[in-house]
Every structure is written in C-alpha cells, then in structure tokens.
Amino acid sequence: MNAKPHVAVVGATGAVGIEMIKTLEKRNFPVGKLTLLASARSVGKKLKFRGTDVTVTELTKDSFKGIDIALFSAGGGISKEFAPIAARAGCVVVDNSSAFRMDDNVPLVVPEVNAFDVRWHKGIIANPNCTTAITLMALYPLHAAFSCKRIFASSYQAVSGTGAKAIAELERQVDQIVKGQPVTKEVYPHQIAFNVLPHVDSFLPTGYTKEEMKMENEGRKIMHHPAFKASVTCVRVPVYRSHSIAVSAEFDKPVTVEAARAVLKQAPGLDLVDEPENKKYPMPLFTSEKYNCEVGRIRKDCAFDNGLCFWVSGDQLLKGAALNAVQIAEELVK
C-alpha cells in the first residue's frame, strides 16, 4: 500500500460520505490525493478538505484507475455494481453497505475487535451495521473476558441512520406539530416526531426485521463466535443523531459488576459513563459527533443466573459508519 494513498469517497455528498471526509481530515489520515465520487446529480458540488475545495465527479466504471483505497457509502446497489470493478482496478474497497457483509470472501471488521481480519481481504472489506458496531464496542470486551452466550437487546435508533431526508422529516414534523399544522410524512410509514416506530428495515417471514437479524449474523462473524445468539427489537426514535442499545447479556463464566467495569474501563474506543447516583449515563445528546462510544447502567441481570445489563450509546454516522471505515483504512496503511 502506498504510504500516501490516493483515496476516493464514493457517495461523497451523503450524510456518511461527508463524515468520511471530515474524519480523514481530523485523524490526519495520510491522504496523497482525494477524489470525491457521486451520482450525476451531485457532480460539480464542492466539498472542503484541508481548506481546499474538492469538486465532486461522476462515479463511472473508469473512476478507479490509480486509486488505492475507496470508501463506499452510496447504498447496496451501487456497492454491488462498482466495488468489484474498483477491486479489479487494484483498489481496496471499504464498503459501508450490507452488500458484502455476509460474504465468506469478505472480511467484516470492527478494528477494536478483529483488526487482524483486514489482512486476508481480496479487494473488498465490509463495514458492519451501525447498531451492531456500537453494541459490540461494549459487548466484545465482555465476551473476551466472560464468554457471552446470548443477548436480548432493544435499539433506540436515530433518524440520521436513514439519511439526510429523515433528519429533514423530523425537523419538519416537529415544526408542523408546534404550529398546529397537519403532519406530512414521506420517509417513514408513520409520524416519527413525538413517536417511536418498532420498525427498522424490512420485515422477514419470522417477524424479525433484517436490521434485527444483523446483530446475530454480523456479531457471529466479527467476534468469530458462531454460537452467539441475539434476540433484538430495533426501534426508530425521534433523535437526530446517535444510536443507543439496551442489552441483557448472558455469560458462560461468572461475572460481577465490578469485574465488568474493570474490563470496560480498559476497552479501546469506549468510555465508561456509569454514575447513576449523579445522573450520569450515556445519552445521544452527548455521544453525537464523538468518536468514542459510551457504556453505562451496568448491573446484574435479575432474569439471568449469570448476566449483565448495560446501556451503550454511540454516533452511528461515526463509529457506526465513517469512523469505522477510516479506521479500517488506517489498518490497511499500517
């Protein structure tokens, strides 16, 4: 890998694409040259990188000549079509969509958990689902110490996980309600303002949604733990940014709150915020635009013989997407 790689961001004008550009700059990633790619309707837009305007160009089959690393965040369809083309052109793709996550030939990586899997890539590396990534930041260190059998979890997912249009929808609906106007909806099937929707992604024949099954399927692959089980309910909440997850986890080895706290204090990319007596616990308000995830509300689970409950919150545009992708690129440059 080139010491100063030529980096492309695909889907540069989207919510995650913009965060990718900011993250490359903030983390001083050794970008030799930056190319911004998007669909025809975004061509000509200018985005700032290191104080300079970079013009967005159109994504085509010939876009990847001479590019070393491409960070993709333009949806599964685009990834399926263009990631193999980029890989054939000698570029390493870090893909933020679900297109390749469960492909046996593609590493699925959270660097704090399984950075070593980057080594066996064949041109494409997958970024995990945002809710899964944020949950694993707290769950994996506990699994490494106490061996996790299964979890029951509920997510509280911000609208920015759906994209810029969903942020606008929440803003618009709050304004409509305050002004006593009829509420209009385009993005979600129901009003999201002052409401919660137990519906993230499409429903499967089992009654779970695709999003809910990602925790089990992707969790098994990332943690190299094929017996891991997760029963999850994913909920969209009227929050702009940062997903939160309530987790009840059952372990093989005896676990105490003190032992769990000691493990979580040492965990990379995670801050322990657990002082309920001082009303201190993780919240979307304080994890938004922050690289580290936060974990708190740690307690013995009174429904399991050997379990813990905890609450984790993290910025799904960052650790759930852009930051994780840039961290994978950092592993590639190493």
pLDDT number for residue 84: 98
Whether 184 and 192 have beta carbons less than 8 Å apart is answered as: no
* Judgement on whether residues 143 and 285 belong to the same structural domain of the protein: yes
- Is position 73 within any domain? yes
* Judgement on whether residues 307 and 158 belong to the same structural domain of the protein: yes
* Judgement on whether residues 55 and 150 belong to the same structural domain of the protein: no
* Judgement on whether residues 151 and 68 belong to the same structural domain of the protein: no
Give the pTM.
Answer: 0.96
* Judgement on whether residues 102 and 48 belong to the same structural domain of the protein: yes
CATH at 176: 3.30.360.10
* Judgement on whether residues 194 and 150 belong to the same structural domain of the protein: yes
What residues in the chain have per-residue pLDDT under 70? none
Tokens describing residue 237: 């909440």
- Is position 108 within any domain? yes
Helix or strand (DSSP H, E) at 48: strand 46-49
* Judgement on whether residues 116 and 169 belong to the same structural domain of the protein: no
Tokens describing residue 83: 């990631």
6 is catalytic: no
Whether 240 and 165 have beta carbons less than 8 Å apart is answered as: no
Q: C-alpha distances in angstroms, 181 versus 12, 188, 295?
A: 35, 18, 39
* Judgement on whether residues 136 and 255 belong to the same structural domain of the protein: yes
Q: Give the count of domains, the chain.
A: 2
* Judgement on whether residues 295 and 201 belong to the same structural domain of the protein: yes
130 is catalytic: yes
Active-site residue (options: 130, 148, 234, 293): 130
Tokens describing residue 41: 């309707």
The tens digit of pLDDT for each residue in 79-125 reads 999 999 999 999 999 999 999 999 999 999 999 999 999 999 999 99
* Judgement on whether residues 64 and 150 belong to the same structural domain of the protein: no
**Strands across the sheet with 307-314, in order?**
229-236, 148-157, 243-251, 307-314, 293-300, 270-272
Active-site residue (options: 6, 243, 293, 309): 243
Tokens describing residue 316: 């799904």
* Judgement on whether residues 93 and 148 belong to the same structural domain of the protein: no
The tens digit of pLDDT for each residue in 227-267 reads 999 999 999 999 999 999 999 999 999 999 999 999 999 99
* Judgement on whether residues 99 and 230 belong to the same structural domain of the protein: no
CATH at 119: 3.40.50.720
Whether 144 and 222 have beta carbons less than 8 Å apart is answered as: no
Domain span at residue 103 reads 6-128+321-333
How far apart CA 40 and CA 130 sit, in angstroms, is: 27
* DSSP codes, 243-259: EEEEEEEEESS---HHH
Amino acid at 199: H
Whether 298 and 310 have beta carbons less than 8 Å apart is answered as: yes
